[in-house]
Amino acid sequence: MVNRLTAINWADYATGDRNAASRTLLMREFLRRAALWVEYLGGSERWPFFDIAERIDPSKRADPGLIERLDEFTSGNVPEFIARRMCRAAVHWAELRQSTKVELPDLLDPYEPLVVLYERGGVFFVENGVADFELRRVPLRDWQANLAPEPIVEIDPAVLDDVDREAN
């Protein structure tokens, strides 16, 4: 996961603009998945951008060397605080999925839509209760409003490319 996150060109705003349609759908999918995890966990005060792995098993954290490497990269390359925090959460999630003996529910990876969103054009900004992608906005709403059983978008590069082609 650290390799994926450090391979992203976080300042590629042109790609982010071209992929704005798919990125907004990926944000909605992240919110949907995160809401399902929050429901499982019994709520969260830090909705929607929080460390789900820490809530499940605070003893299972990623190797400090990996986190240090990630932090060194993100402090110089990722211009938004929430994105830096969510990168850490995705790395801790990957460690939890690989190493925990805790039985997890049959829910999809909450961070994959967010990582793919970043891979398709860097950061977004959060202000006034929305995720702002410059040309598009996604209302964050409370977690209950984001609960949905069906995926918003398939996380497949061809599908996401089609979404962006149709929108441009």
Q: How confident is the model at residue 135 (pLDDT cuts 50, 70, 90)?
A: confident
Per-residue pLDDT, averaged over 28-50, amounts to 94
Cβ atoms within 10 Å, residue 71 = 14
Q: How confident is the model at residue 103 (pLDDT cuts 50, 70, 90)?
A: confident
pLDDT at residue 148 is higher than 80: yes
Per-residue pLDDT, averaged over 102-107, amounts to 89
pLDDT at residue 99 is higher than 90: no
Per-residue pLDDT, averaged over 45-68, amounts to 94
Q: What separation in angstroms does the CA of 82 have from each of 47, 50, 74, 105?
A: 12, 9, 11, 26
Distance, in Å, from the CA atom of 33 to the CA atom of 146, rounded to the nearest integer, reads 8
